[in-house]
Structures are given as structure tokens and as C-alpha cells.
Amino acid sequence: MSFGNQGARVWRKTGEKDMPKCLKSSVKYPQSVMVWGVMSAAGVGLLCFIKGRVNAASYQEILEHFMLPSAEKLYGDEDFVFQHDLTPAPSAKTTGKWFTDHGITVLNWPANSPDLNPIENLWDIVKRKLRDAKPNTLDELKAAIEASWASITPQQCHRLIASMPRRIEAVISAKGFPTKY
């Protein structure tokens, strides 16, 4: 008979209660972090671990210190079109001005469209790679995320970007409802 998930059972002899071999550590309140990253068909760019809330000013700092160097690495002098979500910080007028001042074209993008955003699938790949890491500290978590991110190949990114026509077709066929993407 079972009464829900009671965890693993351990049989031990009298006096073994506090012996290390009879103990299993656990994390009651797992660490979490907010991460910003950028990708293109050429691969991944830099990661930024975010502290606190993101407002327009902090988002523009992220763009300045993480997106611009990533664009340089991934594109060199070539032009590119930037895609971001329509949360408040990226949608702010001052953020739009930042892009204009830097000569960067931003893709006109529908709100609430994660099915069409390939980076969401990339984050799923990163999370799958983290499953076995089991970090116990914030530093271990950050290191595991960085290692997972660094293991993403340009080919994986290219496949995600190349899937865009199929994604768009699927959303149109589903009349805006969720798709397999």
C-alpha cells in the first residue's frame, strides 16, 4: 500500500542514523536565476545573469554590454535584424530609440508568440542538458548554465532558425492556437 511519494526508504542498523553513508542531501529551496541570452543561425552569443527586475534602462545596458559584442562576434560588420519579445522593457520608447541610435533593425513581432520564437526552443535544449547537473549553490547553477549554453552548436542554432517557415505555417494552420513548436 502506498500513501503518495514518501521518498526512498533506507534500512539501517541501530547506531547508523547519523552516519554519512546513511544520509542523502537534498535541496529544499532550489536556487534560480534569470538569464538573458542571444542566438543567431551562426550560433550563440554571450549570456547575462540578471539581478533584480528588468526595466528599460537595465535592458539597454544588457543590449550594450552583451548583445552588441555578440552581434560583433556572430556577424562582424554585416547587418542583422534583431528579434526580442514584447515585454515592457524591450517595448519601451527609450529602447526603440536605443535601437535607432545604434542603427539596428528590430523585427516587427506579434505579442504572445512563443511558438514562433526559436530561442524558446533553445532554452528547452539548455534546460534538458541541465537535468543531470543537480547544482547545490547559485555558483554551481550558473556554471552549469554556462556550460550547457557553451555546448550549443552553430548547427543546432541554424536548424532552429531554418525551422521558421514551418513554424509560421503551423501557426497559420492552427489559426493562432498552439502548435508542436
Q: Give pLDDT, residue 120.
A: 87
CATH number at residue 48: 3.30.420.10
For residues 54 and 89, the answer to whether their CB atoms sit within 8 Å is: yes
Q: Give pLDDT, residue 15.
A: 78
For residue 139, the SS3 value is helix
Is the pLDDT higher at 30 or at 107? Answer: 107
Residue 85 belongs to a domain: yes
The cell for 150 is 557553451
Residue 3 belongs to a domain: no
The total domain count for the chain is 1
Residue 27 belongs to a domain: no
Residue 18 belongs to a domain: no
Domain that holds residue 106: 32-173
Residue 38 belongs to a domain: yes
- Cα 166 to Cα 181: distance, rounded to the nearest angstrom: 9
Q: Give pLDDT, residue 1.
A: 36
pTM score: 0.76
pLDDT at 102 over 50: yes
